[in-house]
C-alpha cells in the first residue's frame, strides 16, 4: 500500500504554500539537490571526461528510460530519454509517416498542446508532399478516424481541461483504419496508470518536469513499440543515434532499437536530477495514486462549486474521464489566479479564461485541498483579485 505520508516527506515545499501546479512543474524532490551536487562535485569535478564511462553518463538515456517505462507500461528497452518534448514529437511523427507512406492526413484535436501542432505543421511543410494536418474537436476524434488517416497525434490528457482520451479505444480504431498512433503523455505519465504496450500504441512521448518532478527544462522521453523498433527511421539522425557514435563514420547508420531515437549529447546534470526524482516512485502504486487523485479532485470540485458559484467547471465531472487536474473558468481568471498565488495557493492560468489546479497525492492531501478552497472562496467573495497589480500579464502565466 502506498504510504503518502512518506512520499510527502520526500518533497521540499516552502512553508505557507499549497502547491496545486504539479501538472505544470513538479516541486523539488529532496533527493535531487544532493544527487546533482554529487554529480557535479564527484563525477564531473573529479572524473572529468572519464565520467562518460566511469560514471555511466553514456548509458543514462536508456537506463533512465527503462525507469520511466515502468510507469507507462513500456517493456524494457523501448524508452529513451533526451532532448525536448517538441523534438520527440517531431521524431515520432516523422517516423510514423514513413511507416505509412501512401497516406497524407495527420489527425489531431484542438485540445492538443499547441507546440505539438506547431511541430507537426513545420514537419509537414518541410516534407512538402501534400500532407494535411486535420484538427477536430476532442469529442470528434473517433468519428474522424478513417482510411485516409496516416497517423493520429493526440495528447492523452487535455492540457486545458484535463479531459481524458481513451488511449486503448482510439488506438484500436486507428489501427482498424490502417493508421499509426502517437500519444503525448505529458499530462498523464506519473499522474495516472498508463499502459502503452497493452493499448498497442505505436509511439508515445512525454516530458519529465510535470508529474515526474525532474525540474524545469528536464529532458523528454520517447517510446517506440517493439514491432517498430528496427523499422522506424529517425528523421533527426544525430550522432548519439548512430550505430557506432565513436567510429565517426561520415554516413549515418541507425542504432539498434530505441537507441536510434537518441539525437544529441545527453544533458547529464539534468539526467541526474531526473534519476533522483524517479526514486520517489519506488514502492508507489499508480492505481492508488489515481484513486487518491480522483478523490482529492472531487472534494475540490464539490467545495468550490458550493462556495464559489461564479466559477464554472471546465473539466469533465466524471473523474474517470479526467486526468489529475481540474480547471474552472472565469472572465477574470488571470487576475484571480494571481491573487491566489499571492496568498500561497499556486495554480496557473491558460488563455482565454481557464484556471488550472493539479492534484498530486504524493504531496497534496485533503487538508491542503480544504485550505486552498478557503483561500479561493475569500478571494472570490471579497473580490481580492480586483487589483491592477493582478491584471498585469507576466511572461509565464
- Which residues have a catalytic role annotated? 113, 184, 209-210, 356
* Residue whose entry in the numeric block shows the C-alpha cell 565520467: 51
CA distance 67 to 57: 15
Distance of CA 176 to the CA centre of its chain: 27
**Pairing status of strand 11-12 against strand 79-81:** unpaired
The string of DSSP letters for 229-296 reads TTT---SS--GGGBSSGGG--SS--B-SGGGGG--S---HHHHHHHHHHGGGGTT--HHHHHHHHHHH
At CA 217, angle to CA 345 and CA 180, rounded to 5?
105
Cis peptide before 352 (omega within 30 of 0): yes
CA distance 77 to 86: 22
* Helical residues (DSSP H) of 352-397, grouped into ranges: 366-381, 388-391
CA distance 182 to 93: 7
CA distance 177 to 149: 8
DSSP label of 14: -
Residue 319's nearest CA partner among 301, 346, 345, 307 is 301
Phi, psi of 131 (to 5 degrees): -70, 155
Cell digits of residue 128: 512538402
Cell digits of residue 305: 462549486
Rg (the chain; Cα; Å) = 22
Strands (DSSP E) along the chain, which ranges?
11-12, 18-19, 28-29, 79-81, 105-109, 132-136, 149-155, 180-184, 203-206, 221-224, 312-313, 325-329, 345-346, 348-350, 354-358
Amino acid at each position: 500500500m502506498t504510504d503518502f505520508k512518506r512520499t510527502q516527506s520526500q518533497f521540499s515545499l516552502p512553508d505557507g504554500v499549497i502547491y496545486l501546479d504539479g501538472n505544470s512543474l513538479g516541486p523539488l524532490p529532496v533527493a535531487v539537490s544532493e544527487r546533482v551536487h554529487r554529480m557535479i562535485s564527484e563525477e564531473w569535478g573529479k572524473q572529468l571526461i572519464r565520467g562518460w564511462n566511469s560514471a555511466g553518463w553514456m548509458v543514462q538515456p536508456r537506463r533512465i528510460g527503462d525507469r520511466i517505462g515502468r510507469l507507462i507500461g513500456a517493456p524494457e528497452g523501448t524508452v529513451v530519454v533526451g532532448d525536448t518534448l517538441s523534438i520527440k514529437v517531431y521524431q515520432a511523427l516523422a517516423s510514423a509517416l514513413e511507416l505509412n507512406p501512401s497516406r497524407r492526413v495527420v489527425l489531431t484535436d484542438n485540445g492538443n498542446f499547441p507546440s505539438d501542432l506547431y511541430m507537426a505543421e513545420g514537419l509537414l511543410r518541410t516534407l512538402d508532399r501534400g500532407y494535411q494536418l486535420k484538427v477536430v474537436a476532442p469529442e470528434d476524434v473517433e468519428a474522424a478516424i478513417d482510411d485516409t488517416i496516416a497517423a493520429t497525434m493526440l495528447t492523452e490528457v487535455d492540457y486545458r481541461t484535463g479531459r481524458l482520451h481513451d488511449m486503448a479505444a482510439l488506438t484500436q480504431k486507428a489501427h482498424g483504419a490502417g493508421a499509426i498512433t502517437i500519444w503525448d503523455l505529458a499530462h498523464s505519465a506519473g499522474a495516472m496508470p498508463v499502459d502503452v504496450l497493452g493499448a498497442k500504441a505505436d509511439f508515445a512521448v512525454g516530458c519529465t518536469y510535470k508529474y515526474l518532478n525532474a525540474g524545469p527544462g528536464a529532458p523528454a522521453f520517447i517510446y517506440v513499440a517493439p514491432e517498430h523498433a528496427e523499422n522506424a527511421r529517425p528523421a533527426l539522425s544525430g550522432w548519439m543515434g548512430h550505430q557506432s557514435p565513436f567510429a565517426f563514420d561520415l554516413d549515418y547508420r541507425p542504432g539498434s532499437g530505441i537507441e536510434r531515437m537518441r539525437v544529441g549529447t545527453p544533458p547529464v546534470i539534468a539526467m541526474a536530477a531526473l534519476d533522483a526524482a524517479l526514486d520517489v516512485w519506488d514502492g508507489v502504486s499508480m492505481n492508488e495514486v489515481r484513486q487518491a487523485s480522483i478523490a482529492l479532485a472531487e472534494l475540490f470540485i464539490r467545495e468550490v462549486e458550493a462556495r464559489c458559484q461564479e466559477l464554472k467547471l471546465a473539466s469533465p465531472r466524471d473523474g474517470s474521464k479526467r486526468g489529475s487536474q481540474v480547471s474552472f473558468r472565469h472572465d477574470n481568471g488571470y487576475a484571480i489566479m494571481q491573487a491566489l498565488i499571492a496568498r500561497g495557493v499556486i495554480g496557473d492560468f491558460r488563455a482565454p479564461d481557464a484556471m488550472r489546479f493539479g492534484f498530486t497525492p504524493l504531496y497534496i492531501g485533503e487538508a491542503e485541498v480544504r485550505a486552498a478552497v478557503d483561500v479561493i472562496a475569500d478571494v472570490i467573495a471579497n473580490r481580492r483579485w480586483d487589483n491592477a497589480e493582478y491584471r498585469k500579464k507576466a511572461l509565464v502565466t
